[in-house]
Structure 1
Amino acid sequence: MSEHNHVVNKEGEMALNKVDDALRRMDGERKEDILESFDAFKRYLGGRIEVAQSIGLSEEMMAKAAEKIGDYLAANEEPRNREEKLLQELWKAGEQEHRHALAHILVRLVRTTQ
């Protein structure tokens, strides 16, 4: 099964409670490839955003998913470069509303660089 099948239900709606599960199931080597550089991370996030756009998810739903990914990364992964370290520091310093705003910014950053 693809990540799409794990996180998006048959009506094309995102099941945010399954995002963490999908991230935990990700192969360690694949995770390393994604997190090796900020550009690799942006490419990965960009791919997920393309899938989300293709099934008609709103920017708000994409930001909520990005927020779940950010929560997971901040709690479970060590930064591998300066950009990831900065994002982690910002994430941890912010309250929930700040993290949500940062998630929106990340979605927009990736959408404009695709």
Structure 2
Amino acid sequence: MSEHNHVVNKEGQTALGRVDAALDRMDDKAKDEILESFDTFKKYLGLRVELAENIGLSEETMAKAAERIGNYLAAKEEPRNREEKLLQELWKAGNSEQQHALAHMLVGLAQNARENK
């Protein structure tokens, strides 16, 4: 796949507008595996946060990406467990500022999950 389809290029520049398209390209089996349990979801997020940190993305950029992902999941995916249902309800109840704060918290959750392996 060419680099113009990716959210982050080799130089670490982000194109957050491509998040939805990247998620749409993910096959249903892969989504199911990631979302089947909250622990799996946290591990997946932890790996993505680690990759983002390794290429030098700021926490703010990661939170903006998490916001895009949160919007996508709230609109297009059914929660597969209680934790995801709670996150979806919190997401939908919040305004954009609250969603941004929750996105920061999810980045922190992913960092903590990675550190506590």
Q: TM-score range by the shorter chain?
A: over 0.9
- What is the aligned partner in structure 2 of residue 45 from structure 1? 45
Matched, 1:56 2:53: no
Structure 1, unpaired ranges of 5+: none
- What is the aligned partner in structure 2 of residue 81 from structure 1? 81
For residues 9 and 47 of structure 1, the distance between their equivalents in structure 2, rounded to whole angstroms, comes to 17
Runs of 4+ that moved beyond 3 A: none
Q: Could you state the TM-score of these two structures normalised by the residue count of structure 1?
A: 0.94
Deviations 1:36-55 (A, max 9, x none): 01111111111111110010
Please state whether the residue corresponding to 1:87 is helix, strand or coil: helix
Q: Structure 1 counterpart of 2:93, which letter?
A: A
Deviation at 1:110, TM superposition (A): 1.0
- Write the mapping of 1:20-31 to structure 2, written as runs, cut at 5 A: 20-31=20-31
Deviation at 1:101, TM superposition (A): 0.1
Higher mean alpha-carbon deviation, 99-108 vs 42-51, is at 42-51
For residues 107 and 44 of structure 2, the distance between their equivalents in structure 1, rounded to whole angstroms, comes to 12
Deviations 1:13-50 (A, max 9, x none): 11100111000000110000000011111111111111
Higher mean alpha-carbon deviation, 29-38 vs 7-16, is at 7-16
Matched, 1:71 2:79: no
For residues 60 and 103 of structure 1, the distance between their equivalents in structure 2, rounded to whole angstroms, comes to 9
- What is the aligned partner in structure 2 of residue 109 from structure 1? 109
User: Could you say what the CA RMSD is over the residues aligned between the two structures, in angstroms?
Assistant: 1.6
Structure 2, unpaired ranges of 5+: none
Deviation at 1:84, TM superposition (A): 0.2
Q: Structure 2 counterpart of 1:61, which letter?
A: T
Q: Could you state the TM-score of these two structures normalised by the residue count of structure 2?
A: 0.91
For residues 59 and 2 of structure 1, the distance between their equivalents in structure 2, rounded to whole angstroms, comes to 26
Matched, 1:6 2:6: yes
